[in-house]
Amino acid sequence: MRKRFTVPHIASSEITSESAYMQRREFVKGLGLAAAPAVLGSRSAAATPATGGKPLDYRTAGGCEGLL
């Protein structure tokens, strides 16, 4: 008969140090603050088209007047 695998008992203090456990919220907050410029920067760049200072001229393409 095969021997069954038993999960070893490991104390939680052996897995994560107390200092890392106590500073976890600051770590997650730092990740959010580091990612914010990338997220906010990409949204503002996509929202404003680069026109070189010229106004946009919106016209329908030829033959598509009846579709709008």
Domain chopping of the chain, boundaries: 15-45
Looking at the predicted structure, is the pLDDT value of residue 45 above 80? no
> Which value, to the nearest 10 degrees, does the dihedral of the CA atoms of residues 23, 29, 35, 39 take?
160
> Distance (Å, rounded) from C-alpha 13 to C-alpha 22?
12
| pLDDT value of residue 61 | 67
Looking at the predicted structure, is the pLDDT value of residue 47 above 70? no
DSSP 63: T
pLDDT class of 64 with cuts at 50, 70, 90: low
Sign of CA dihedral 14, 17, 22, 23: negative
- The encoded tokens of residue 48 equal 């404003």
DSSP 65: G
For the segment 10-44, what is each residue's pLDDT rounded down to a tens digit?
887 778 888 888 888 898 888 888 888 777 765 55
